[in-house]
A and B are shown apart, each in its own frame.
Chain A
Amino acid sequence: MLPLNTFEKHAEIAAVFREHGVPEDQIYFAFQEDLTCDGLFGEEWLAISKDGQFLYRYSAASQAFDVFTLSDLEEPYIDNYTTSNRILAYIKDETGNRKTIVLGACTNGCKRRMNAFMNMWDRVTKGLEIKEDDAIFEQFNARCPKCGTVYPDQQRRICEVCAKKKGTLVRLLSYFGDFKLQFATVLICLVLTSAISLVGPIISGQVLYDRVIDPAGPLHEVRYVFIFVGVLFGLALLQLFIGIIQNRANAHMSTHVTKRMKDDIFTALSKLSVSYFNQNSTGRLINRVNYDAVRVQSFYIDGVPALIINGLNFIGLAIFLFIINWKLTLIVFAPVPVIVIMFKLMLPKLWRSFSKLWRRSSSMNGMLADTLNGARVVKAFAKEPEEANRFHLYAHKLYSASMNANKIIIMIFPVIALLIGMTAQAIWGFGGIMVMNQEMTYGQLTTYFGYLGMIFGPLGFFSTFTNLITDTINSASRMFETLDQIPEITDAPDAIEADHFRGEVVFDHVSFHYNPSSPILKDISFTIHEGDNVGVVGHTGSGKSTIANLITRMYDTVSGTVLIDGVDIRKYKQASLHKNIAIVSQEIYLFTGTIADNIRYSKPDASLGEIIAAARAANAHDFIMQLPEGYETMVGSGNRSLSGGERQRISIARALLLQPSILILDEATAAMDNETERLIGEAIDKLVKGRTTITVAHRLSTLHNCNVIMAVENGEVVEMGSPHDLMEQKGDYYKLYTLQNDQMQQVMTGN
């Protein structure tokens, strides 16, 4: 059995097949589905016999075992739905009518296997042999791009080695790794500060009062008053000094850590594949880099030191309080369980309300970015008041979320304050009685009160700290979510560097979809030879641009391979691909900066001469020279706006500057008039002589220089050949040509 799905762990299924007279060695390959034909979750198996004659189907739920003769099943295909997929085929009845039947179904979870199964079925009907080491099985041995381990569950590509996340907070602390010295300094300072603040009350209470001020004290002299007050003053100075050192070290460390975090997030984001950016709104991503890192930074600057010092103080205080008088201390701690229970109850709510707060703030940012970017459209349809209202709505939602979060905090606080106040009164009462009964000295009570005042500090802090910490964990886990995102497209560990391509492009049984429910390319194969000038025509949505995207590996194929110069493009370093293949697409983006900067973007070390040459070739030179600041005119958002055609020409110049081995023009000249288009065409022809050029276009006039035309329809290559041959064939190209010609003539003759 070929390694698609095997009976290795399914002895019971093997037994069923055997019962029906199909031993395991009679099966060519099998496919396990997770949906029954009725659309319920359940196990079903499809198998094709070794002789390629039969298709078996076994449903574990209904125990039904069906046998189909393969030759009866015509045009089997996968019907892709949003979240499920079905294999359908036509079968002829006695009268010769074709009817559609359902052969199997699965969720998106086994979709890859379903595709592979259908591909193999197709090959079986064509009489081709499939070997165990066929390329199609490679996708089921996928490895984690980060560490190279084979995924334990191929359906769900989770790398347990890499995904092993330490607790979010521990992981945050790991950022301090490079700042051991500073970190140690801060820690020592914190311990010292805490120790000093603990010594204070002993000196002022038990020493100063019991030993010096008390007439019965052993040091009852005025000079000792001065000495100990002096000591207290000295301690205060020392504490101030330590505080300064600690803050300096901390500021140094936390700014660096935050910077590093922002860098990390940005680098992680920029490594992610195009599909990630299609799925996540820009507002959300900006929020992630800014807001989240700032949140985490404030946690470092204010939160962490305060946490340590309060924690130490709290422990020290608790010990001292117990030593001085454990009975009183029990009273002090009496309300603690109540406080803890309150937090236990309120924390999840608080957590959720902060999460909501973040989501709302991010959707508000998203809306803001959307409207400001689309300012032109907003104005064109006079939608300013509506947009303002929409913003009010978002702002109001944010306001209510923030109100909600605050309400919870407000509810917690007064209760705690009341509890603390009540405890303090109780201590005065009980402590006073104890001093009167001479169970403790007045100095001890003073010290005790000194400590008591201090212990409410940490308690108060811990109660506010929870909200800082929930907020931080929220932000931090979102940050790590981004950092842990594995780019869909990564370089193989042994990827090859290529300085130059000859320019041969081969598509070998390539299938592709962005969304499983709508296949874009269906098993297409073609070869573009070195130096070819290929024109790709087809309707909108036929898959033309996808072909271009696959050559540059913006996306990986779902199945099949793209080869450049005979090598699978997945084996090249991505940088090599992008250095040698230039693509000018329909979407043009000019960065904020000068025109020269924008042209130079593809090759930062280009000389000014090269820039001008590229601009000339793209027919952009003349209009650039007419701008008051020439090549130094600022463009991009908020600057001089260029027309669509001008922007396209700049982006063509950007691509030409690269002197690529393969040039892809994806509707690159659509916004230009015919004359300009012709001029650019000529310039490009000169520049790319001997290189491979692929031009995607609607207008056939764009393709007048192409030696090969490829017609794409519905995700399939329907025609490919020289323009002359295709005209003779009278296929799609011919029709398109006649149509555009007719239209032209109608315009000319005025009909």
Chain B
Amino acid sequence: MEDMELENLFERRESVRLTPENAVFTRSEGGLISLRLSHPEAPEKEEEFFERVIPLRGFPITDPEQFISVREPDTKEKGRGAEIGIIYDLAEFDEAQQTLLRSELDRHYFTPELLKIYSVKEKFGYLYFETETSAGKTSFVMNNPYSNFRSFEDDRIFLYDIDGNCFQISDPSKLDKASYKRIEIYL
């Protein structure tokens, strides 16, 4: 009996590859994601239902749609949530499930796209931005533009504000001229 308990403690769920064959993601009643997981390869195993799962990106910057880890939430009793499985490529799933997962992922890696930059004012060494983003109008403050504009090889730019929030410009050349001019000197 005691040995059993001990084994349970160190037993981890075995993470599986999640495909449309074994996994169905649905919107939960609370607006989050539920997962129904079957085990076609092991028919003796029962179908599992997770009321809420958390998708996480393995490569959030370069490959946001590949290698998505799907996990149970952390709980008081069980501690850190275990990984249920990995989606190798989001595109394997149907459109509806893709949208569902993508919206939850975008929420997690909340990085609004800057569509318009209305003004950038420098005051006492801090930059005050007034912007229109993909998530609505917002303003934010940045210091040390030298370190907080991060550009990538593919021309993408990340902007980090003083709270640790992140904004992105996926293609600076597509910004309107006036917006681009306001940030040009920091690039």
Contact = CB atoms under 8 A, between A and B. Distances in A.
B130 interface: no
Contact of B28 (A39, A81, A100, A108): A100
Contacts of B174: none
A714 B135 contact: no
A714 B136 contact: no
B64 to A, nearest CB: 12
Contact of B29 (A99, A108, A163, A355): A99
Interface stretch (B13-21, B93-101, B106-114): B106-114
A37 B104 CA distance: 12
A515 to B, nearest CB: 8
B173 to A, nearest CB: 15
Interface string A351-365: 110010001000000
B133 A41 contact: yes
B43 interface: no
A714 B80 contact: yes
A41 B137 contact: yes
Contacts of B22: none
A: contact size bracket? 35 or more
A510 to B, nearest CB: 17
A83 to B, nearest CB: 5
A121 to B, nearest CB: 15
Contacts of A156: 141, 162-163
B6 A738 contact: yes
Contacts of B106: 39
A164 interface: yes
Contacts of A478: 146
Interface in A110-165: 111, 155-158, 160, 163-165
Given A84-B110, A351-B185, A158 B124 contact: yes
Contacts of B144: 481
A421 B75 CA distance: 80
Contacts of A488: none
B30 A102 contact: yes
A606 interface: no
A749 interface: no
A81 B110 CA distance: 8
A81 B165 contact: no
A348 B146 contact: no
A516 interface: yes
A240 interface: no
A101 interface: yes
Contacts of B126: 158, 163
Interface string A172-197: 00000000000000000000000000
A319 interface: no
A98 interface: yes
Contacts of A163: 124-126
B49 to A, nearest CB: 10
Given A83-B164, A99-B51, A158-B141, A39 B124 contact: no
B135 A348 contact: no
| Interface hub of A40, A75, A98, A100 (most chain B Cβ within 10 A) | A100
Given A79-B73, A82-B108, A163-B124, A155 B163 contact: yes
Contact of B185 (A42, A75, A348): A348
Interface in B128-163: 133, 135-138, 140-141, 143-144, 146-147, 161-163
A408 interface: no
B165 A108 contact: yes
B76 A101 contact: no
Interface in A34-86: 34-35, 37, 39-42, 75, 79, 81-84, 86
B: contact size bracket? 35 or more
A35 B162 CA distance: 17
Interface string A450-488: 000000000000000000000000000110010010000
B135 A735 contact: no
B124 A101 contact: no
Contacts, number: 120
B87 to A, nearest CB: 18
A636 interface: no
Nearest to A36: B136
B9 interface: yes
B124 A41 contact: no
Given A40-B135, A100-B52, A713 B187 contact: no
B82 interface: no
Interface string A481-509: 10010000000000000000000000000
Interface in B1-59: 5-6, 9-10, 28-32, 51-52, 54
Nearest to B79: A714
A238 interface: no
A163 B32 CA distance: 43
Given A39-B110, A481-B144, A735-B9, A107 B165 contact: yes
B166 interface: yes
Contacts of B141: 156, 158
A101 B30 contact: yes
A82 B51 contact: no
Given A99-B30, A108-B163, A165-B124, A82 B79 contact: no
A75 B140 CA distance: 32
Contacts of B112: 41
A251 interface: no
A426 interface: no
Contact of B6 (A82, A83, A158, A735): A735
Contacts of A101: 29-32
B118 to A, nearest CB: 14
Contact of B51 (A42, A84, A100, A739): A100
Nearest to A358: B146
Given A156-B141, A351-B185, A82 B30 contact: no
Contacts of A531: none
Interface string A250-293: 00000000000000000000000000000010000000000000
Contacts of B107: 39, 81, 84, 86
Given A158-B126, A735-B6, A91 B110 contact: no
22 contacts: A39-B110, A41-B112, A83-B109, A88-B32, A91-B30, A93-B29, A100-B32, A101-B30, A102-B31, A107-B163, A109-B161, A111-B163, A156-B141, A156-B163, A158-B124, A158-B141, A158-B143, A481-B125, A713-B79, A735-B5, A735-B6, A739-B10
Given A41-B135, A84-B110, A714-B74, 5 more contacts: A75-B75, A82-B110, A102-B30, A157-B162, A714-B79
Interface of A: 34-35, 37, 39-42, 75, 79, 81-84, 86, 88, 91, 93, 97-102, 107-109, 111, 155-158, 160, 163-165, 280, 348, 351-352, 355, 359, 477-478, 481, 484, 515-516, 713-714, 735, 738-739
Interface of B: 5-6, 9-10, 28-32, 51-52, 54, 60, 73-76, 79-80, 103, 106-112, 124-126, 133, 135-138, 140-141, 143-144, 146-147, 161-166, 184-185, 187
What are the 3 closest A-B residue pairs judged by CB atoms, nearest first? A101-B30, A163-B124, A41-B136
